[in-house]
């Protein structure tokens, strides 16, 4: 079943981000997205089967993918020009896939999808609540840095 989500204020956020240097804006977005995604990773860690080696320890939030995941991601989003992406999942462990979706010999023991379903509304709320504050903090830091550099000459 498809869900409809209405988000307002993105134009204003985009204008505010354009006032910052690109790297500063991206860093602010990454911090907000990491914070918003962490509850999903924590819930997935709690739900992951405990007898599957390092599965629980491998679950995390980050910007990096394995080589295989990067290849699949590029094929799926080759025309996407997203400025910042954060991923939540279980590293590159093959048992993560077999546990989540099952095999011929045993049924699925989903841990990531139920975690996402339980926290997806909270992720959007967290982004909405934290993004403006993070942009304002980044803008103040940038202004202080600019003033400090101008004072040095």
Over residues 81-100, the pLDDT tens digits come to 657 888 898 877 888 888 88
Question: Among residues 40, 41, 29, 45, which one has the least CA distance to residue 85?
Answer: 29
Region 102-117: what's the mean pLDDT? Answer: 90
Please tell me the pTM assigned to this model.
Answer: 0.79
Q: What average pLDDT does the chain have?
A: 85
Residue with tokens 């409809």: 4
Q: What's the angle, vertex CA 51, arms to CA 48 and CA 53, rounded to 5?
A: 90
pLDDT tens sequence across 25-38: 888 889 999 999 99
pLDDT tens sequence across 35-70: 999 999 999 999 988 876 688 888 999 888 888 888
Residue with tokens 């400090």: 148
* Candidate from 2-11, 46-55, 142-151 with smallest mean pLDDT: 2-11
Q: Compute the distance between CA of residue 149 and CA of residue 88 in angstroms, rounded to an integer.
A: 38
> Residue 15 — very low, low, confident or very high, per pLDDT cuts 50/70/90?
confident
Q: What percent of the chain has pLDDT over 90?
A: 22
Residue with tokens 């139920």: 114
pLDDT at residue 78, as a whole number: 67
pLDDT at residue 33, as a whole number: 92
pLDDT at residue 37, as a whole number: 94
Q: Compute the distance between CA of residue 131 and CA of residue 126 in angstroms, rounded to an integer.
A: 8
């Amino acid at each position: 079943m498809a869900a409809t989500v209405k988000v307002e204020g993105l134009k204003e956020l985009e204008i505010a981000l354009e006032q910052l240097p690109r790297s500063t804006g991206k860093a602010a977005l990454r911090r907000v997205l990491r914070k918003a995604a962490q509850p999903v990773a924590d819930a997935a860690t709690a739900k992951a089967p405990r007898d599957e080696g390092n599965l629980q320890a491998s679950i995390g939030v980050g910007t990096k993918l394995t080589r295989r995941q990067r290849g699949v991601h590029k094929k799926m989003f080759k025309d996407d020009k997203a400025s910042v992406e954060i991923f939540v999942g279980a590293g590159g462990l093959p048992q993560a896939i077999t546990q989540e979706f099952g095999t011929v010999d045993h049924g699925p023991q989903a841990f990531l999808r139920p975690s996402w379903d339980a926290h997806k509304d909270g992720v959007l709320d967290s982004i909405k609540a934290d993004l403006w504050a993070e942009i304002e903090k980044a803008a103040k830091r940038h202004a202080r840095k600019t003033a400090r550099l101008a004072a040095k000459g």
